[in-house]
Structure 1
Amino acid sequence: MVDLVLRSRRAVTSDGERPAAVSVSGGRIVAVDDHDAVVEAAEDVDLGDVALLPGLVDTHVHVNEPGRTEWEGFASATRAAAAGGVTAIVDMPLNSLPPTVDTAALAVKQDAARGRIHVDVGFWGGAIPGNAPALPALHAAGVYGFKAFLADSGVPEFPPLSPDQLAEALAAVDAQFVVHAEDPDHLHAAASSPAYADFLASRPPAAEHAAVATAIEAARTAGARVHILHLSAASALPLIEAAKADGLRVTAETCPHYLTLDADQIPAGATEFKCCPPIRDSANADQLWAALAAGLITCVVSDHSPCTPELKRQDTGDFAAAWGGIASVQLGLPVIWTAARARGHTLAQVADWMARRPADLVGLTAKGRIAVGADADLVAFDPEATFTVDPARLHHKNPVTPYAGKVLHGVVRTTWLRGRIVTGDAPGGVFLTREVS
């Protein structure tokens, strides 16, 4: 007798998409059988043609609690994640106060999250000037690695690293480093303007290209693991390809907004589209899609970075003054599926990009896959259904989104976390920590 069996004619398993019956006991997947297999179960659910996906893993989420909880919080962010089919997130070390740059700050953040999370939550640490000596202890406390900025982060308590400081941090601890790659020498102050083109000109592709080169050289010198966050500029792809060909441990991600939004179509004053690095044009997006399909870009994550509507300066539409960040943890799956299906990609590819590969990035071997022994983190996803994005139905704290009014394919019907349905009422998530040998 198993606790639960889920049957779907479109189950995305480790063997690809196929009809299957997935059996769950004790929160784990204990069997993946043929669709019509006879299984003695306490509960037997047949999803029909609704797809069964592994729960997504989003390794790039800014929860902002404590300290800026009016921007977001653990309860609201993880409720939104579950509604979008995300069953595990890794929280960024900023924009919370204090930032997660030492073990004391990690404890403060975990205290803020305890008992409030609807999905499983892990944590990144932060590398800032002067804290290299604190990194080994923070790594030993279970963070999945360290985030570093090479340009202004937007908040004063998390300053950027110079190339020499990045090298110092990489030498301090053998860990995964994730890098916001924009070079300050190539950035320009944006003029006060409602025109998106004016903001875009202030953050040219050359800024990403130069910073990616810096990060790769640091990885080469230290023999370190370096992951390029939220790659926007396709011009940097050849650098990453050459680094991988040289055997360097360099990877990259991108985000739904860089793959699906077009700089040339952003209306004047629509500051909900502002993020850093910026959304570029459709030709650039085409190159990102090609790199994703080829495996050069390894994963798609949200960079969920919300703020209050006031900080988005929707009153003036001034891109220069607005906070840069897009809140999309609830919408990433349908946004990507809508675009992917139009380009001929499969559900199995989407699950690979948004579940297995992010899990592998941080070593979550029991997440992001439908396979025996994995956590029973599962999503019933109707790939043929459509819906119109209504900000009022989003669960994150401040429902500001560039996707408002868009018609998307794919509806999350149910999300299971370790075999239990996530309702959004009773928090059932746990803390995830890196396995420390």
Structure 2
Amino acid sequence: MADVGLVLRSTRVITSSGVRAASVAVAGGRITAVLPHQAQPPGGARLVDLGDDALLPGLVDTHVHVNDPGRTAWEGFTSATRAAAAGGVTTLIDMPLNSIPPTTTVRALEAKRAVARPQAHVDVGFWGGAVPGNVPELKPLHQAGVFGFKCFLLPSGVDEFPQLSPAELDAALAEIADLGGLLVVHAEDPRLIAGAAAPSGPRYADFLASRPREAENRAIAGLIALARRHRARVHVLHLSSAEALPLIAAARREGVRITAETCPHFLTLTAEEVPDGATEFKCCPPIREAANRDALWAGLADTTLDCVVSDHSPCTADLKSADFGRAWGGIASLQLGLPAVWTEARRRGHTLEEVARWMSTAPAQLVGLRTKGAIEPGRDADFAVLAPEESFTVRPADLHHRNPVTAYAGKTLYGLVRSTWLRGTKIADHGTPTEPTGRLLERQPEA
């Protein structure tokens, strides 16, 4: 204990073994001990007494579109990681699109790393992309440290990241399985989407009808069959249709290696409340009805759903026109995920311990970050300090996202992020980030 330089004390520390009053000792950027609440700090250590504010492990958001380089008018590493830090997120994994070039080759990965390195306020890792014709690139990307590979089964929305055909998906998954890698999938069936009426105009009901639940259900069923055949590890991104949960649960019981995530907007917003023309609510797959939201919460409670991540997918304000057929589909929520989820979780009787598992521990496990995601000795000293009973009203001007367009504007949320800490250094204080001190992360070999 002689090298301890910092002790954080709280009556509500969310540890890997439960919530307790404790003092957390930090040395060299790592947690060295979780001590009794009133333990005397070692000589020379700085004591930060958080009172009754909750000390959570820093959030790990494995689904973020930073768009840098190439579409930095939409977002960038400075603005995205500042928003992450302000919202209690200490680690994010960047998606391979909508940057230009997309992260589908090692050369593109290195270009992205060069841009991110001097700007990162939080730790940043990268997904690779699986697109038509790049199977030979998958092994080099895996060896270069990407955390897995993302693919689409239908058009992605940007021309430089095409979807995989069934044959191409099969070939990519076979290669990824041989590598011991992870495929993460935007799972909607293209034929069912093509067969639905295309959305046009301001009515949200028309947009919702254009992305039926069955498109998700059928795509996930097909993905399960492929994962079973290749004995591959797959992950369903941004699950919206609760009807797919029994398929996932049954596959797991059978031994299929499948996991799934959902997002704050699917857990907190409902189709019934989306005003016509309000395309800040547009995302794909879409926000569905209140009954579907209830079933997603049940899927979290019974662990069919593993984690909650943002799918932060911002754009410039002009791309959010009032026409649901033309507007960009994506919700910007990186800074607001923790309070949004906590607001609904507390209303439903869930605990901060569960929220920490969904938004920190499970995402860290998904990508194999063994030093992230929990408050226990040996882990990185990454923390979010939360005032759970305090509320605030979302004002877009307070957000650090490059474009302050948000579906949460005007909403009252519970859970004020007082501060965020990365490896024992405070990186945001009452919503104001400090200088960038984040590091670039690579996939860690299996233990």
Gaps of 5+ in 2: none
Segment drifting more, 41-50 vs 329-338: 41-50
If the length of structure 2 is used for normalisation, what is the TM-score? 0.96
1:336 to 324, 332, 341: 341
| Residues 1:75 and 2:78 are matched in the alignment | yes
Q: Counterpart of 1:140?
A: 143
| Residues 1:249 and 2:257 are matched in the alignment | yes
Q: Do 2:197 and 2:209's aligned partners in 1 also have CA atoms closer than 8 Å?
A: no
Q: Counterpart of 1:172?
A: 175
Q: Counterpart of 2:55?
A: 52
Segment drifting more, 33-42 vs 93-102: 33-42
Q: Counterpart of 1:295?
A: 303
Gaps of 5+ in 1: none
| Residues 1:412 and 2:420 are matched in the alignment | no
Q: Counterpart of 1:158?
A: 161
| Residues 1:184 and 2:184 are matched in the alignment | no
Q: Counterpart of 1:286?
A: 294
Distance of 2:15 and 2:434 partners within structure 1: 29
Distance of 1:189 and 1:411 partners within structure 2: 42
The amino acid across from 1:432 in the alignment is: L
Distance of 1:356 and 1:295 partners within structure 2: 13
Measure how far apart 1:425 and its partner are: 3.5
Q: Counterpart of 2:33?
A: 31
CA root-mean-square deviation: 0.9
The amino acid across from 2:400 in the alignment is: H
Distance of 2:420 and 2:348 partners within structure 1: 26
Distance of 1:275 and 1:74 partners within structure 2: 22
1:84 to 83, 87, 100: 87
Measure how far apart 1:191 and its partner are: 3.2
Distance of 1:42 and 1:209 partners within structure 2: 54
If the length of structure 1 is used for normalisation, what is the TM-score? 0.98
Distance of 1:239 and 1:14 partners within structure 2: 30
The amino acid across from 1:186 in the alignment is: L
Distance of 2:253 and 2:127 partners within structure 1: 28
Q: Do 1:101 and 1:131's aligned partners in 2 also have CA atoms closer than 8 Å?
A: yes
Q: Do 2:386 and 2:416's aligned partners in 1 also have CA atoms closer than 8 Å?
A: yes
Q: Counterpart of 2:266?
A: 258
Distance of 2:14 and 2:249 partners within structure 1: 29
Q: Do 1:142 and 1:436's aligned partners in 2 also have CA atoms closer than 8 Å?
A: no
Q: Do 1:355 and 1:368's aligned partners in 2 also have CA atoms closer than 8 Å?
A: yes
> How do 1:372-391 residues align onto structure 2 when only pairs under 5 Å count?
372-391=377-396
Distance of 1:319 and 1:329 partners within structure 2: 22
Q: Do 1:150 and 1:160's aligned partners in 2 also have CA atoms closer than 8 Å?
A: yes
Q: Counterpart of 1:10?
A: 12
| Residues 1:207 and 2:210 are matched in the alignment | no
Matched position secondary structure for 1:287 = helix
Measure how far apart 1:190 and its partner are: 2.4
Distance of 1:380 and 1:236 partners within structure 2: 35
Q: Counterpart of 2:22?
A: 20
Distance of 2:175 and 2:359 partners within structure 1: 30
The amino acid across from 1:87 in the alignment is: T
Q: Counterpart of 2:359?
A: 354
Distance of 1:105 and 1:239 partners within structure 2: 36
| Residues 1:305 and 2:340 are matched in the alignment | no
Measure how far apart 1:42 and its partner are: 2.5
The amino acid across from 2:378 in the alignment is: G
Distance of 2:445 and 2:52 partners within structure 1: 41
Measure how far apart 1:47 and its partner are: 0.7
Distance of 1:359 and 1:422 partners within structure 2: 20
Give the total of aligned pairs: 434
The amino acid across from 2:444 in the alignment is: E
Distance of 1:300 and 1:149 partners within structure 2: 20
Q: Please list the CA deviations of residues 170-203 of structure 1 after superposition, one character each: whole Å capped at 9, or x if unmatched.
A: 1113211100000011113523210100000000
Distance of 2:21 and 2:165 partners within structure 1: 52
Measure how far apart 1:436 and its partner are: 4.1
Q: Do 1:101 and 1:125's aligned partners in 2 also have CA atoms closer than 8 Å?
A: yes
Distance of 1:271 and 1:433 partners within structure 2: 35
Q: Counterpart of 2:231?
A: 223
Q: Counterpart of 2:242?
A: 234
The amino acid across from 1:386 in the alignment is: S
Q: Do 2:77 and 2:120's aligned partners in 1 also have CA atoms closer than 8 Å?
A: yes
Matched position secondary structure for 1:213 = helix
Q: Please list the CA deviations of residues 372-420 of structure 1 after superposition, one character each: whole Å capped at 9, or x if unmatched.
A: 0000001110001000000000001001001000000000001000000
Q: Do 1:140 and 1:436's aligned partners in 2 also have CA atoms closer than 8 Å?
A: no
Distance of 1:98 and 1:302 partners within structure 2: 23
Distance of 2:25 and 2:440 partners within structure 1: 25
Q: Do 2:199 and 2:206's aligned partners in 1 also have CA atoms closer than 8 Å?
A: yes
Matched position secondary structure for 2:317 = coil
Q: Counterpart of 2:285?
A: 277
After superposition, the Cα gap between the structure-2 partners of 1:308 and 1:189, relative to the gap in structure 1 and judged at 3 Å, is farther
| Residues 1:364 and 2:369 are matched in the alignment | yes
Q: Please list the CA deviations of residues 183-225 of structure 1 after superposition, one character each: whole Å capped at 9, or x if unmatched.
A: 0111135232101000000000010011101111111111000
Q: Do 1:128 and 1:148's aligned partners in 2 also have CA atoms closer than 8 Å?
A: yes
Matched position secondary structure for 2:318 = coil
Segment drifting more, 32-41 vs 247-256: 32-41
Q: What stretches of structure 1 move > 3 A for 4+ residues in a row? A: none
Q: Please list the CA deviations of residues 114-141 of structure 1 after superposition, one character each: whole Å capped at 9, or x if unmatched.
A: 2100000000000001101110010000
Q: Do 2:5 and 2:46's aligned partners in 1 also have CA atoms closer than 8 Å?
A: yes
Q: Do 1:229 and 1:252's aligned partners in 2 also have CA atoms closer than 8 Å?
A: yes
